[in-house]
Structure 1
Amino acid sequence: MSVIGAPLDRRDGPAKTTGAARFAAEHLRPGLTHAALVHATISRGRVTRLDTTAASAVPGVITVLTHHNAPPLKPAPKVNPLNLSTLVSGTSVNYLQDDEVHFDGQPVAVVVAETSAAAKEAAALVRVEYALLPSTVDFESMAPHAKKQPYSPVSPGEAKKGDAEKAFGEAPVTVDHRYTTPPHQHNAIEPHATIAEWDGDRLTVHESTQSIDWCRNHLAVRFGVPVADVRVIAPFVGGGFGGKAMVWPGTVLAALAARATGRPVRLVLTREDVYRTVGGRTPSIQRVALGADRDGSLTALIHTSVTRTGRVGGAPEQVTSQSRHLYGADHILIQASTVELDLVPNTSMRAPGESIGTFAVESAVDELAAELGMDPIELRMRNEPERNPLDGKEFTHRRLREVYEAGASRFGWRDRAPEPGATRDGRWLVGMGVATAYHPAWLFTANVTLRLSADGTVLLRCGFQEMGMGAATAQAQITADALGVPVDAVRVEYGDSALPVAPTAGGSTQTASVAASVLEAAEKLKRRLPKGAGDLVAAVRRAGVPHMEVSVGSDSRFGRLAGQARLIGRFLRDRRRVRAATGAQFCEVRVDPDTGEVRISRWLGVFDIGTVVNAKTAASQLRGGIVMGIGMALSEETLVDPRTGRIMNPSLAEYHVPVHADVPRIEVSTLDDPDPTTPLGIVGAGEVGITGVAAAVANAVFHATGKRVRDLPITLDKLL
């Protein structure tokens, strides 16, 4: 029987729950030293004086590296679309190579000591003086000066169909509102950590990364060594969510310190270090304007956004992505703009773009439903398109009608009183809200080797990343199904750049991308065995060999070029149609009218993510996304001083993420309906869970109270 879809326990579960799993900072090396960062306290300028006398005198301090004595480091490579590893530079800053400061928090010195305590004590004693230069750090004041986002084939900044502004002006029913979302910060349970060790010109790095191969390539460029002489090891990563997709200062400076001292160096970022040197989600200002006939048919959809990047890095966020695909309006205008600020560059954060974009557009749809006196689900279904609204491309897979029908029935949606503020339970005002979840699905290339042994065991080798989502378990299930062997017979090696190259774990691409190569390898293996061999293991035994092994892709120079060609070909083919994971988020809230306290009492998410490889891990991924979305809706907000660019709440004491008391029992279900254009029909579960969540909460709060909150997070003061 097929093991695809079975709710198997994660293979790494026992190791993680017993403490046997070793994360990046937990590897002991002979002569291991410890490093701590010294951060700039200005947003832009030059270092005029660096006094390391007191720091160097702390017992146990080995060296204090500054731009005066640090080993040479090559600049970060420029972005090249034909070499995706060039996308991995968190910033373009060439650390400790000159006296320039580009953002508050930029490392200006690194202390290396025999103990972590000594390194931290010494780092606090480094005295730095600066010459200030004019800086721009206030997003709100600079937003009116935003420039149109340049065209990119991955994230085009503008799209039009018809004349949306004219159609909006002529529409009988309209809504036109401004929505804002604040900056957000990464808070993975494992902070960024690196252990770097040089053996001559060969570098080994234990790293908390979700981009093993890209990280390896980046370090090779920065230190001027062949890629083959860099090894990145990351078997366990304690959460990534996009924050560990890039290479940030800590990684580079750990390797720089190891080269300077000739000893292994461990650099573990504090939570504040993460806030000050690792990018987070951009803030956004969005306009959504909807025009409709009185029957609810959309005549105009306008969605514009302003986001920020850093002057030394960051990329535009695809905030308007979902609005290109969700609703069949006659006229559509999509436009994205950005401003450059002297802040730590923004970076990917779970469902970058769609998570905050769905807040605006799905809130606006709810507002239009209220104007029309129409049920919000009915309005969405009335405008559900058969083809992509902008260009008429086919959807590879779209089951939004089914997920809404299933969700409405299970959640009791039809029983709700439609009028806002009409339902009470004791002192609580009760409301329900819905929103559409949407995230595009992509495929990348992966190299694998697959070995079938005469003893019945199978070995899959691929350098993919495991960040807590059960990737190794899912790939074991896919391999077992492809070869017709018990899943317990499959062993998976992963998390090491010495293994065949895998894509970065991001964009919900890893499972399907690796699965494509696993299935190809399985077919190669079958072709090597006698035609019609039903029992593959018996066929290997009859061949008189200990095992048979096949490969897909190659890590040689030619193999990488061929892989790049495969990737470009796949990207061009995929652009002919629109592929995405979708879902419907159902939320019930209770609001205290006297205090403004919001409590989420029920949640149901119904999703179409294609084939479910493992029911248990997929549900966990979707629930995790919903929890993260609840944080976005109700509490998460990075506070940036608009005068200095300093993050004012760089800790979990002041940056509030959801805790158990904030999260209800979350019910999740999936259609488990394969996408015919992907390997095994897999679409992806990691990102779509957070999309639509903030809008569902805001819509439920409106239904409970009659108050519309258009600026996240939904805090007490906005409801009183």
Structure 2
Amino acid sequence: MTMSDTYDTPDTRDMLDRTRQGVIGKPLDRPEGGLKVAGQATYAAEYARESCAEGVLVGATISTGRVTAIHKDEVLAMPGVLGVYAAPQMLRRPAQGTAGEAPLQDPSRVDYPMQPVALVVAETFEQATTAAKALRIDYDDASTSARFLPTHETAEAAKEPVTAGDLEAALRDAAYVIDANFTTPGHASAAMEPHAAVAEWDGDDLTLWGSLQMIAFNVAELADSLGIDPDHVRILSPYVGGGFGSKLGISHEAVAASLAARELGRPVRVVMSRQQVFQSIMRRSETVQRIRLGAGADGRLTAFGHEALVSNLPEESFSEPVTQASEFLYAGNNRLLAVRKSDITRLTAGSVRAPGEAVGMQALEVAIDELAIAMNLDPVELRKRNLPETVPGEGTPYSSRRLVEALDAGAAAFGWDQRSPTPCARREGEWWIGMGMSSAARVNILAKAEARVTLTAQGHVVVETDHTDIGTGSYAIFGQIAAEMLGQPIDRTTVKLGDSLLPAGSGSGGSWGASSTGSAVFYACEAIRATLAQALGCSADDLILQDGKAWAEGVEARPVTDLLTQDLTRTGRIEPGELMEKVNQSTYGAFFCEVAVNAFTGETRLRRMTGAFGFGRVLNAKTARSQCIGGMVWGIGSALTEELSFDTRDGHLVNHDLAEYHMPVHADIPPMEVILLEERDADASPLQSKGVGELGICGAAGAIANAIYNACGVRLRDFPMTPDKLLADLPDPFAPAA
């Protein structure tokens, strides 16, 4: 039996507020946490398969062109080498989530530096590595015709611009105008676990152990790349050591391992080095943004312009949706929002955690701060004055929107009233001290998902779906939903994930996983509850389940197991409907931070940070807090340290490891306060929850930039804000205090 629903009507029943088990929303530990800290959770590269050979990818040494010859014989004679394979079907780019999206190209074609073009397989990893380094490849080098820098001259519209009213006229008439340009560099996902795959064939059937986010889609992608029926592909990915968008689609290691394993007739493992991950797995595009804001004397926006230049490989349709939050966040009836894409010869650009808002909002929130200062208005108040009643230019209503509450709660907890609006007003020794803030906003998405739930005759609950856990807490959350709905203690609940033989969940990406697959779990449990109610002789609405017992008003409590003669299994499905178009469903929050800027060196140290967030029902307070903190850390990196650096002569990535791509470490992170604003959003999902995984990034870097200005009076619009960019404009450190 399957309970299915296209989500077109808001679910206002508050079902999870009427259940009795009391585990939903609680800060429960991850059930797999013990395995992970003890090193017993098996990740993709760790599966021990008998006679497993080791493969190492070889990257192109030209920027673009064609492979004309691979000198295999030289390395085939080396110790332990089993095979050398060209890339007849290896993806030239990671897929973006759907099979067939990237049609097969000329198999010899090279599109960017260090693109994997061959695989060397040997008995041991060391032998394969030695042979891969020795492999000679000839090329027809077309690098002289390549473009390595994005330019407006070569850019085309990524999508139809959003326009309303007359922006230019509104800017001319505005009492206050901000017209500023911002730049953000490319970013890497840099997941802790590198991309890895172990492939094994049994006749025509392939099993792949991989590190992937979207298994149902990944099966179709892998089958498409191999030219086989998806029914012959099984993918297992129960534990994923981070993805952040980089593992949404299959990439080179999965296809290469599968091809080599089929040719050799034995399992093959391919693990990318950290450098290969940086060089051949998708990046976040760099951006050049122009933001124009016009406001009247009353502090209300009348003009709103946000234009961006991004880049990608030719023929790639993905473009960083920089203006995504600008479409709905602030008022301004006269507007222009536009994104243009320039084709360049660099590593593929794709989805990196919070695509669009992560870089768009950090620039927007600085521009809003500049407007507040120009108007001598508190930045919090300016934002409050410019929250529209409906989406500007559309008239679409909003679902729940806790932005004002987030601004107020964050300001109160942080002590925003202690901030001086005058830069350089506070100094401690050789450090200027300042405060800054910004809004947070992220679109909410409900995705198609399916899950199977079984209530066993012994009263145990089993949840099954191919959904992945990339560190977000899926094992905990799905177990809590099922335990709450079926009135069983959490320790009698088991969650099975990451196997393509299980019902297809939504996958982990876009902050849609918990609400989407969680809603499928919810529906499956509702179907079980209906059957139990019938056995008890009451209506489903009157049924009460708690601690393994079932009862209703006027009906004596009985053990649930007394109502079961066998295991009771139901499958729930959900898919989005027109409601997503009829109502703007987004998540909101606010950041407040304090920084210290060294008066002599320009070094910035974050001293404390507060984030307040509203994202519907909180399903697990501990995992939600963890996601918010993780997002804020990403914001710190975006503001202060992270930057992909490409050689403009040939497009190759210069800082291709964690030694040179500088991410914040523990020593960089101050005390972080997270405030979770409980709310219910019936428009968003049956759970009345929304996604939180990416919200904590969106706008965070802007708050830090604003705090730096408040500290030392230097306004930077070029991220990251490294000391060298601050030094030239810092106040005289020896000047007497004002």
Tell me the TM-score range normalised by the shorter chain.
over 0.9
Find the aligned partners of 1:355 and 1:247 in 2 and give their Cα distance: 24
- Preserved contact between residue 458 and residue 491 of structure 1 (Cα < 8 Å): yes
TM-fit CA distance, 1:314:
5.5
1:31 aligns with 2:51: yes
For 2:699, the equivalent position in structure 1 comes to 692
**Aligned residue among 605, 610, 632 for 1:626:** 632
For 2:622, the equivalent position in structure 1 comes to 616
TM-fit CA distance, 1:544:
5.4
1:150-202, Cα deviation, whole Å (9 max, x unpaired): 3xxxxxx4211211121112212101011110111121110000001111111
For 2:724, the equivalent position in structure 1 comes to 717
**Aligned residue among 420, 429, 445 for 1:426:** 429
TM-fit CA distance, 1:74:
10
Q: Where do 1:587-626 residues align within 5 Å?
A: 587-626=593-632
For 1:556, the equivalent position in structure 2 comes to none
Find the aligned partners of 2:51 and 2:268 in 1 and give their Cα distance: 9
For 1:138, the equivalent position in structure 2 comes to 148
1:657 aligns with 2:666: no
Q: In the alignment, residue 673 of structure 2 is paired with which amino acid?
A: E
Find the aligned partners of 1:431 and 1:56 in 2 and give their Cα distance: 62
Distance 1:172 1:73, change over 3 A: closer
Q: Where do 1:45-194 residues align within 5 Å?
A: 45-66=65-86, 85-86=98-99, 92=103, 94=105, 98-133=107-142, 134-140=144-150, 142-150=151-159, 157-194=160-197
- Preserved contact between residue 61 and residue 114 of structure 1 (Cα < 8 Å): yes
Q: In the alignment, residue 631 of structure 1 is paired with which amino acid?
A: G
Find the aligned partners of 1:161 and 1:110 in 2 and give their Cα distance: 52
Q: In the alignment, residue 668 of structure 2 is paired with which amino acid?
A: D
TM-fit CA distance, 1:364:
0.4
> Aligned with 2:322: secondary structure?
coil
| Structure 2 unaligned residues grouped into runs of 5+ | 1-20, 551-557, 728-738
1:357-400, Cα deviation, whole Å (9 max, x unpaired): 00111110001111111111111111122222231211111011
Find the aligned partners of 1:393 and 1:6 in 2 and give their Cα distance: 34
1:19 aligns with 2:39: yes
Q: Where do 1:525-564 residues align within 5 Å?
A: 525-529=528-532, 530=534, 531-532=537-538, 534=544, 538=558, 541-543=561-563, 545-553=565-573
**Aligned residue among 362, 371, 375 for 2:374:** 371
Q: In the alignment, residue 614 of structure 2 is paired with which amino acid?
A: D
> Aligned with 1:447: secondary structure?
strand
- Preserved contact between residue 94 and residue 282 of structure 2 (Cα < 8 Å): no
> Aligned with 1:240: secondary structure?
coil
- Preserved contact between residue 515 and residue 679 of structure 1 (Cα < 8 Å): no
Find the aligned partners of 2:90 and 2:247 in 1 and give their Cα distance: 22
For 1:322, the equivalent position in structure 2 comes to 325
For 2:736, the equivalent position in structure 1 comes to none
Q: In the alignment, residue 497 of structure 2 is paired with which amino acid?
A: Y
Find the aligned partners of 1:290 and 1:304 in 2 and give their Cα distance: 12
**Aligned residue among 400, 408, 412 for 2:411:** 408
- Preserved contact between residue 26 and residue 621 of structure 2 (Cα < 8 Å): yes
**Aligned residue among 208, 211, 214 for 2:214:** 211
> Aligned with 2:40: secondary structure?
coil
For 1:454, the equivalent position in structure 2 comes to 457
Find the aligned partners of 1:406 and 1:161 in 2 and give their Cα distance: 33
> Aligned with 1:689: secondary structure?
coil
1:50-101, Cα deviation, whole Å (9 max, x unpaired): 223432222111011126xx6x78999999xxxx6237x6x6555xx73221
Find the aligned partners of 2:73 and 2:226 in 1 and give their Cα distance: 28
Find the aligned partners of 1:317 and 1:440 in 2 and give their Cα distance: 14
TM-fit CA distance, 1:684:
1.2
1:396 aligns with 2:399: yes
**Aligned residue among 250, 255, 259 for 1:252:** 255
> Aligned with 2:704: secondary structure?
helix
- Preserved contact between residue 65 and residue 110 of structure 1 (Cα < 8 Å): yes
- Preserved contact between residue 77 and residue 221 of structure 1 (Cα < 8 Å): no
- Preserved contact between residue 284 and residue 349 of structure 2 (Cα < 8 Å): yes
TM-score by length of structure 2 reads 0.90
TM-score by length of structure 1 reads 0.93
- Preserved contact between residue 176 and residue 295 of structure 2 (Cα < 8 Å): yes
Find the aligned partners of 1:492 and 1:149 in 2 and give their Cα distance: 41
Q: In the alignment, residue 531 of structure 2 is paired with which amino acid?
A: R
TM-fit CA distance, 1:49:
3.2
Find the aligned partners of 1:435 and 1:501 in 2 and give their Cα distance: 38
TM-fit CA distance, 1:234:
0.3
- Preserved contact between residue 299 and residue 385 of structure 2 (Cα < 8 Å): yes
Distance 1:542 1:291, change over 3 A: same
Distance 1:362 1:75, change over 3 A: closer
Find the aligned partners of 2:672 and 2:91 in 1 and give their Cα distance: 48
> Aligned with 1:124: secondary structure?
helix
TM-fit CA distance, 1:222:
1.7
> Aligned with 2:498: secondary structure?
coil
- Preserved contact between residue 226 and residue 255 of structure 2 (Cα < 8 Å): no
Q: In the alignment, residue 690 of structure 2 is paired with which amino acid?
A: V
| Structure 1 unaligned residues grouped into runs of 5+ | 151-156, 554-565
- Preserved contact between residue 178 and residue 710 of structure 1 (Cα < 8 Å): yes
Distance 1:46 1:77, change over 3 A: closer
> Aligned with 1:306: secondary structure?
strand
Distance 1:544 1:415, change over 3 A: closer
